[in-house]
């Protein structure tokens, strides 16, 4: 297990700084927007605004980097595991707030909220990697 984590750590450390900065900007903006949309639509939000930083930058960016070489569906599958753990923990430890009687609860029922959020947010990894790759390619092509 330790070897697997060391391999992942090395993989993250080998990524070009420019690409890492793009990941950070993309995921930070994405996190701020999604938290804002969650508040506006009264679905869910972070308990504290600053939770966007550790969640999106220190959790999701390294996972994205580790998964970037895989196919879209493999990234999504691993993303489901990563987001399932994150969503479950967020609601179990009450670091995320679910608005009562929100549209997802009304549509699908209250017992599937974390699953629905994990299914949705797992798309971040393949979509995020695609977006970062396109931005990075444009920057590199200009040099």
- Are 57 and 24 a contacting pair, CB within 8 Å? yes
Report yes or no on 26 lying in a domain: yes
Q: pLDDT of 103-114, one tens digit each? A: 999 999 878 888
Q: pLDDT of 56-79, one tens digit each? A: 999 999 999 999 999 999 999 999
Mean pLDDT of all residues in 106-132 = 93
Mean pLDDT of all residues in 4-32 = 89
d(CA 126, CA 73): 8
Report yes or no on 10 lying in a domain: no
Q: Is the pLDDT of residue 9 over 80?
A: no
d(CA 13, CA 129): 16
Report yes or no on 1 lying in a domain: no
DSSP per position, 41-88: TTSEEESSGGGHIIIIIIIIHHHHHHHTTS-HHHHHHHHHHHHHHHHH
Report yes or no on 9 lying in a domain: no
Report yes or no on 85 lying in a domain: yes
Structural domains in the chain (count): 1
Range of the domain at 85: 15-142
Can you give the pTM of this predicted structure? 0.90
* Residue among 50, 68, 86 at smallest CA distance from 11: 68
Report yes or no on 5 lying in a domain: no
CA distances (Å), 62 to each of 5, 10, 37, in order? 12, 11, 24
């Amino acid at each position: 297990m330790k070897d697997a984590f060391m391999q992942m750590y090395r993989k993250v450390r080998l990524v070009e700084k420019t690409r890492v900065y793009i990941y950070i900007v993309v995921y930070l903006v994405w996190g701020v927007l999604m938290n804002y949309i969650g508040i506006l639509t009264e679905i869910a939000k972070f308990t504290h605004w600053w939770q966007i930083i550790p969640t999106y930058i220190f959790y999701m960016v390294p996972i994205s980097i580790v998964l970037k070489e895989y196919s879209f569906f493999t990234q999504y599958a691993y993303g489901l595991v990563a987001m399932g753990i994150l969503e479950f923990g967020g609601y179990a430890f009450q670091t995320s707030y679910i608005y009562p009687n929100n549209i997802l609860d009304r549509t699908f029922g209250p017992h599937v909220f974390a699953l629905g959020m994990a299914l949705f947010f797992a798309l971040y990894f393949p979509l995020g990697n695609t977006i970062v790759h396109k931005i990075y390619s444009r920057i590199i092509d200009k040099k």
